[in-house]
A and B are shown apart, each in its own frame.
Chain A
Amino acid sequence: MNRIDQKFKELRDRKKKAFIAFITAGDPNLKTTEELVLAFEGAGVDIIELGVPFSDPLADGPTIQASSQRALKNHVNIDDILNLVRRIRYQSSIPIALMTYYNPVFHYGEKRLTQKAKTCGVDGLIVPDLPLEEAQGWIRLARQNHLATILFLAPTTKPLRMRRIVNAATGFVYYVSLTGVTGARRQLSNTIEECVFLAKRLTNKPICVGFGVSTPPQIKAVSRFADGVIIGSAIVNAIAQNQGKKQLVKKVTRFVRGLSKNLS
Chain B
Amino acid sequence: MSLPDKKGYFGEFGGQYVPETLMAVLEELEKVFRGARKDKSFQRELTYYLCEYAGRPTSLYYAKRLSEHLKTLKVYLKREDLLHTGAHKINNTLAQVLLAKRMKKTRIIAETGAGQHGVATATAAALMGLHCEVYMGTEDISRQALNVQRMKLLGAKVNSVTSGSRTLKDAMNEAIRDWVTNVHNTFYIIGSVAGPHPYPFMVREFQAIIGREARRQFLRKETCLPDYLVACVGGGSNAMGLFHAFFNDKRTKMIGVEAAGLGLASTRHAATLLKGEIGVLHGSKSNLLETKDGQIKVAHSIAAGLDYPGVGPEHAYYQKIGRARYVAVTDQEAMSGLKLLAQTEGIIPALETAHAISFLKRLASQATRNSSVVVCLSGRGDKDMGTIHESH
Contact = CB atoms under 8 A, between A and B. Distances in A.
A180 B281 contact: no
A264 B295 CA distance: 40
Interface stretch (B11-19, B206-214, B329-337): B11-19
Interface string A176-199: 100111000000000000000000
A129 B173 contact: no
B163 A107 contact: no
Interface stretch (B180-188, B228-236, B383-391): B180-188
Interface residues of B, number: 37
A216 interface: no
Contacts of A180: 21, 177, 180-181
A77 B183 contact: no
A129 B169 CA distance: 16
Contacts of B177: 58-59, 61, 180-181
Interface residues of A, number: 38
A65 B176 CA distance: 14
Given A77-B293, A129-B17, A181-B177, A56 B23 contact: no
A103, A104, A153: most-surrounded residue (chain B CB, <10 A): A103
A158 B20 contact: no
Contacts of B277: 107
A182 to B, nearest CB: 10
A119 B24 CA distance: 36
Given A103-B294, A104-B293, A156 B23 contact: yes
Contacts of B15: 133-134
Nearest to B174: A58
A129 B296 contact: no
Contact of A129 (B181, B280, B290, B295): B280
B285 to A, nearest CB: 8
Given A129-B280, A133-B7, A55 B296 contact: yes
B180 A179 contact: yes
B290 A152 contact: no
A157 interface: yes
Contact of A131 (B16, B170, B279, B280): B16
A135 B91 CA distance: 34
B83 interface: no
Interface string A128-161: 1111111000000000000000011111111001
Contacts of B296: 55-56, 103
Given A56-B164, A61-B177, A181-B180, A176 B294 contact: no
A46 to B, nearest CB: 23
A250 B112 CA distance: 44
B21 A56 contact: no
A65 B180 contact: no
B166 interface: no
Nearest to A104: B294
Contacts of A132: 20
Given A58-B173, A107-B279, A156-B183, A134 B295 contact: no
A78 interface: yes
Given A72-B295, A77-B293, A157-B20, A103 B280 contact: yes
A156 B169 contact: no
B17 A153 contact: no
A188 B16 CA distance: 28
Interface in A80-107: 102-107
A167 B359 CA distance: 53
Contacts of B20: 128, 131-132, 151-154, 156-157, 165, 176
Interface in B214-251: none
B126 interface: no
Contact of B184 (A77, A157, A179): A179
Contacts of B285: 106
B105 interface: no
Interface in B279-294: 279-283, 285, 288, 290, 293-294
A99 B169 CA distance: 22
A59 B178 CA distance: 10
Given A133-B16, A156-B21, 18 more contacts: A55-B164, A56-B173, A56-B281, A56-B282, A58-B19, A58-B180, A72-B295, A103-B280, A103-B296, A107-B290, A128-B19, A133-B7, A152-B20, A154-B20, A156-B24, A157-B20, A179-B21, A181-B180
Which 9 A-B residue pairs are closest in the complex by CB-CB distance? Answer: A107-B294, A104-B294, A154-B21, A180-B181, A152-B20, A77-B293, A55-B295, A156-B24, A154-B20
Interface of A: 54-56, 58-59, 61, 65, 72, 77-78, 102-108, 128-134, 151-158, 161, 165, 176, 179-181
9 contacts: A56-B169, A56-B173, A107-B293, A132-B20, A151-B20, A153-B20, A156-B20, A165-B20, A180-B177
